Amino acid sequence: MLRAIGVASAEELFQDIPQRFRNPPLRLPSPLSELELRQEMEALAERDLYPGKYASFLGAGAYRHFIPAVVWAIASRGEFLTSYTPYQPEVSQGTLQVAYEFQSAVCELLGMEAANAGMYDGPTALAEAALMACRVTHRYRVAVLDTVSPTYREVLETYARGQEIEVRQVPQKAVRLDAETACLVAQHPNFFGYLEELDALSVAAHKAGALLVTSVDPTAMGLFKPPGAFGADIATAEGQPLGIPLSFGGPYVGLFASRQEHLRQMPGRIVGRTRDGQGRTGYVLTLQTREQHIRRERATSNICTSEALVALACTVYVAALGKQGMQRVAELCYHKAHYAASEIAKLPGYSLPLSGTFFQEFVVRCPSPPAKVNEHLLERRIIGGLDVSDQVPQGMLLCVTEMNSRKEIDALVSALAEVKG
Amino acid sequence: MEKVWQEPGDSRRHLLMERSVAGRVGCSLPGLDVPEQPMPSAGLLREELRLPEVTEPEVVRYFTLLSQLNFSVDTHFYPLGSCTMKYNPKVGEAVASLPGFAQLHPRQPDATTQGALELMHRLQTSLADITGMTGVSLAPMAGAHGELAGTLMVRAYHHSRGEAHRKKVLVPDSAHGTNPASAAMGGFHVVAIPSDRQGNMDLEALRKEATADLAGMMFTLPNTLGLFDPNVAEICDIVHQAGGMVYCDGANMNALLGRVKLGELGFDVAHLNLHKTFSTPHGGGGPGAGPVCAGPTLSPFLPSPVVLKEGSRHKLGRPPKSIGKLGGFHGNFGVLVRALAYISLLGGQGMREISLNAVINANYLLSRLKDVYHLPYDRRCMHEVVLCARNQRAVGVKGLDVAKRLLDYGFHAPTMYFPLIVEEALMVEPTETESRETLDAFIQALREIDREARENPDLVRGAPHSTPISRLDEATAARHPDLRWRAQEQ
């Protein structure tokens, strides 16, 4: 091949790199065979204690749910796995039709009119929603309820800083918005697991000429009214609960939907249905003039590669569970979480400090610091909840899903009972 | 490709909701093993949930048929320029799904996640070595996400020095499209720097823009013409002397592995696309990962978290002047596992073989095609070659037509009409994992299409002819957006 290229040595091909910088030494270890690699990776993985090996009641933004085998049997197919962004629709109809199915499912789950093909994760979807609200309203202040996850608030602040958008924290109990506010941001259920009064928040936002922007748990949408039914203008969600393994925090996918009228301010890929020259139905990337590769610095976002395969897995999950399965999972989580909460509340020294309706997460006030309680639980082979004592005194945020059997819940209650104040 | 869909209205393409039959379920769930609890008020509950009701075999058949409508690296040569569509070893998938990785919760205490944290730390160290940088954050979830991190770091750096007036970011006209969009999200305004006749950055234009309001430059290396700018060190100097920072878009790192270190060239910050260079399947458009690597000046500003090592223990930490969190947790961990697995399989010598073979393959295509397809910058390329369909345009066949005709030959098209500075551009990146036989077949197809363009132009203009659908009406799709299934269509 070098002869065909017309060079005597391969080194000639790199001669544009100035000599003094060329071929630096690397300190990387020697190569491993596939077998050695497997052994090394298995040894690393075995050092982790993980839910499944231990019982787990940890949620706070990432949730352990049952994943039917069909989900990753489909999502691992090479034809989906090893393709890329469908720039050539004639040979990407699989990816494109799946994205259209995903957008349909997202619209239905969130009760919204239009959805995109997915964002990086729940927090970035919410941050981009707030930026979009600023573009729609031409206002540059964002009001965030203090019950929104601190992680989500931090990501929103990172995203907003560059464009000098002001992020203000608003107490859930006293929402007052001024005429400069682009949107009110709420999480439903909120960080502590409780439902917000979205109807009242919607009225408050709209009265101020602001948009209502929400982030929800998609599992809860099997049981509870979606944000669209309360008048949300932009609705987002973390897609991970829909068939995606916890995987130490990623890859996940953000769901993103809005009212139809704001469609052209939406970030990310959007797939539309159309026809070919012979009248056959086909799917194609559409409204691309919003995007970075066409509009460059005036694009609605810089997002390019996102989480298409994860969105595919979510789509297969929703298809496999279907209407009944989505309802069933939500009910199982609800009843098990409420059972656990009521049993824990009976223990001396424990209480439920928050009131309202919760879904699968709730805050327990412990008789001693939650970090200490968690250490004790770990000795009983239980991964406890998140320590939220910085927000609720002695508070621990527990999560119960369909993965937690009654036996596990009862073991948690017994282990908690052993902790004294 | 198999012809699985031919006729209008073929039922095999019906949507899930059109297949739905009330009462069907595609999975089995357990019963309730705790006493039923009181339900909340009906006003909070959902009245309607219009989701598909299909069985598991129906799910499998539907999605399998859809998968067969795709071209993919596993089935086809996919020389999409700037996307590095190399073959990814399957062991990456296997190790990422080990329970100690795949089932790990991101909020567990550090003491229970030492294996995962050590893996991340090893990857940080490897990427720092490969790029010649001092600090690495694995948090960004895609290339453009890494760019956003980089622009915010540059912003934070200038603000920390009381130089918030530095608002100008230079972007060469041969950069990726995400660069100007990322600079805008960082709050900067963008000034384009033209390329000279050799495809390098115009140094005179650069010097003129190196003014007191300069925040930095975003530089794709090799650039989107597939060329390594030999003036790179001088360019970094010019920007530095004006007080700016230099960002490297490392999406094309496949050309440079083991050949040059970005930090030594003078770059202050760079992102890598792990899904491109370090082998994660592209998934139809993600997941990827876009770690951001920084030199000593910008490392304190890296996004949170980074993994720190103290003795034999690892923990998540926050750089002292961090721009903050960019996403929910620690980045796309599953992609990070695949990247470290790939680096471990290849080692240092393997890195150099990747860049060697990637560059040889691209130059082989260049040398065998340039007599037929015009080569706008007549010099050797790095990992990809940008040709143009100017000769074909002269006989009434556009670059797009050539691309569509390639699909009939069973090859995915190159990246088309990019970079914008080349008319009728065909940007071809063969990668190192393709054999000479595949490259020869691709060369033959492109030469054949050139012959067809002269002898039977309508054949090329009407292409593709063998795919499940032909060219779609994109104008109608944008004018009348149909973006979801709706009930009234039943």
Q: How far is B336 from chain A (nearest CA, A)?
A: 10
Using a CB-CB distance cutoff of 8 angstroms, which residues of chain B are in contact with residue A60?
107
Question: For residue A284, which of B479, B83, B426, B52 has the smallest C-alpha distance?
Answer: B479
The DSSP element (H or E) to which B126 belongs, if any, is helix B114-131
Q: Any idea which residue has 């082989």 for tokens?
A: B364
How does strand B425-428 pair with strand B415-416?
Answer: antiparallel
What is the C-alpha end-to-end distance of chain B, expressed in Å? 31
Map residue B279 onto helix, strand or coil. Answer: coil
B24 and A322 within 8 Å at the Cβ level: the answer is yes
Closest-CA residue of chain A to B331: A250
Interface A:B, Cβ pairs < 8 A: 653
Q: Which residues of B touch A268 (CB under 8 A)?
A: none
Instruction: Tell me the nearest-neighbour CA distance from A232 into chain B, angstroms.
Output: 15
Q: Is A325's CB within 8 Å of B26's CB?
A: yes
**Mean residue pLDDT across chain B:** 95
With residues binned 3-state (H G I as helix, E B as strand, rest as coil), the percentages for chain B, rounded to 5, are: 40, 15, 45
Burial level of B11, CB count in 10 A (0-12/13-18/19+)? exposed
**Letter string b/e over residues A157-191, b meaning 16 or more CB atoms within 10 A of that residue's CB:** bbbbbbeebebeebeeeebebeeebbbbbbbbbbb
Is A258:A112 a contact under the CB 8 Å cutoff? yes
- Rounded mean pLDDT for each run of 10 residues along chain B, 490 residues in total: 50 90 95 97 94 97 97 98 96 98 98 98 98 98 97 98 98 91 95 96 97 97 97 98 98 97 98 96 97 98 98 97 98 98 97 97 98 96 97 97 98 94 96 98 98 98 97 96 82
Q: Which residue of A has its CA nearest to B230?
A: A16
For chain A, domain boundaries: 55-65+323-417, 69-317
Q: B248 pairs with which residues across the strands?
A: B219, B270
**Dist. CA A135–CA B327, nearest whole Å:** 22
- The Cα A323–Cα A356 span in angstroms is 27
**What is the rounded CA–CA span in Å between residue A303 and residue A129?**
13
Residue of chain A nearest B400, judged by CA positions? A88
**What class has domain A69-317?**
alpha beta
The closest CB to that of A276, out of B327, B471, B481, belongs to: B471
Phi then psi dihedrals of residue B316, to 5 deg: -80, 135
Contact (CB<8Å) B284/A303: no
The strand pair at B168-172 and B214-220 is best described as parallel
**CA A207 centroid distance within chain:** 29
Res B10: pLDDT: 66
- Name residues of chain A where pLDDT drops below 70: none
Pick the CATH number of A55-65+323-417 from 3.90.1150.10, 3.30.530.20, 3.20.20.70, 2.60.120.10: 3.90.1150.10
Rounded CA gap, B232 and A306, in Å? 30
Joined together, the tokens standing for residue A340 give 């656990």
AA letter at A111: G
Buried b (16+ CB within 10 A) or exposed e, B35-47: eebeebeeeeebe
- The residues near A191 (Cβ < 8 Å, ≥ 6 apart) are A60, A147, A148, A149, A150, A152, A397
Using a CB-CB distance cutoff of 8 angstroms, which residues of chain B are in contact with residue A383? 105, 108, 112
**Residue A363, helix vs strand vs coil:** strand
Structure tokens at A13: 């091909």
Contact flag B407-A88 (C-beta cutoff 8 Å): yes
Question: Computed from CA positions of residues A147, A150, A151, A154, in that sequence, does the dihedral angle turn out positive or negative?
Answer: positive
What 8-state DSSP symbol labels residue A119?
B
Contact A84 B334 (CB under 8 A): no
Short-list A45, A52, A148, A54, CA closest to A374 = A54
Nearest to A60 among B62, B89, B107 (CB): B107
Could you give the CA distance from residue B253 to residue A90 in angstroms, rounded to a whole number? 30
Contact assessment for residue A351 and residue A364, using Cβ atoms and an 8 Å cutoff: yes
**Alpha carbons A269 and A99: distance in angstroms, whole number:** 9
Q: Which residues pair with A213 in a beta bridge?
A: A185, A234
The residue of chain A nearest to residue B283, with distances taken between CA atoms, is: A81
d(CA A69, CA A65): 13
* 3-state SS assignment for residue A142: strand
Signed CA dihedral, B270, B271, B273, B278: sign only = positive
List of residues 6+ apart from B256 with CB closer than 8 A: A17, B221, B222, B228, B262, B355, B382
The Cα A164–Cα B268 span in angstroms is: 24
Question: Which residues, in sequence order, are CB contacts of B327 under 8 Å at separation 6+?
Answer: A120, A121, A123, A124, A155, A250, B139, B140, B141, B145
Chain A contact set for B85 (CB, 8 A)? 82, 84
Please, is A290 exposed, middle or buried when counting C-beta atoms within 10 Å of its C-beta (0-12, 13-18, 19+)? buried
Q: Find, in chain B, the residue whose alpha carbon is nearest to that of A43.
A: B115
Sequence letter at residue A385: G
Q: Using CB atoms within 10 A of its CB, is residue B447 exposed (0-12), middle (13-18) or buried (19+)?
A: middle
Q: Which residues contact A254 (CB under 8 A, 6 or more apart)?
A: A118, A119, A120, A121, A122, A123, A124, A125, A126, A128, A236, A237, A238, A239, A307
Look-up of token digits 């600079």: B183
User: For position B490, what pLDDT does the model report?
Assistant: 44
Q: What is the pLDDT of residues B212-226, one digit of tens each?
A: 999 999 999 999 999
Q: Give the DSSP letter string of A75-105.
A: HT-HHHHT--S-SSGGGBHHHHHHHHHHHHH
What DSSP designation does B262 have? H
- Residue B94 in 3-state DSSP? helix
Q: Do A98 and B66 touch (CB under 8 A)?
A: yes
Which of B470, B68, B413, B442 lies closest to A87, judged by CA?
B413
Q: What residues have CB less than 8 Å from B436, skipping those under 6 apart?
A: A1, B364
Neighbours of B468 (CB within 10 A): 24
Domains of chain B (ranges plus CATH)? 11-30+47-65 (no CATH), 90-346 (3.40.640.10), 354-477 (3.90.1150.10)
- B419 in Cβ contact with B344 (< 8 Å): no
Q: Which two tokens stand for residue B169?
A: 């970011």
pLDDT of res. A84: 95
Nearest CA in chain A to B88: A82
Residue of A nearest to B73 (CA): A82
**CB-CB: which of A98, A108, A162 is closest to B186?**
A162
Token pair in block for residue B16: 């899930």
Chain A residues whose CB is inside 8 A of the B15 CB are: 97, 100-101, 104
Q: Residue by residue, what is the 3-state secondary structure of B353-379?
A: HHHHHHHHHHHHHHHHHCCCCECCCCC
Interchain contact, B100 vs A223, CB within 8 Å:
no
Contact list, A405 vs chain B (CB under 8 Å) = 33
Do A124 and A254 form a contact (C-beta atoms < 8 A)? yes
Q: Which residues contact B17 (CB under 8 A, 6 or more apart)?
A: A104, B50, B52, B485, B487, B490
ipTM metric: 0.97
**Residue B287 to residue A402, Cβ atoms within 8 A:** no
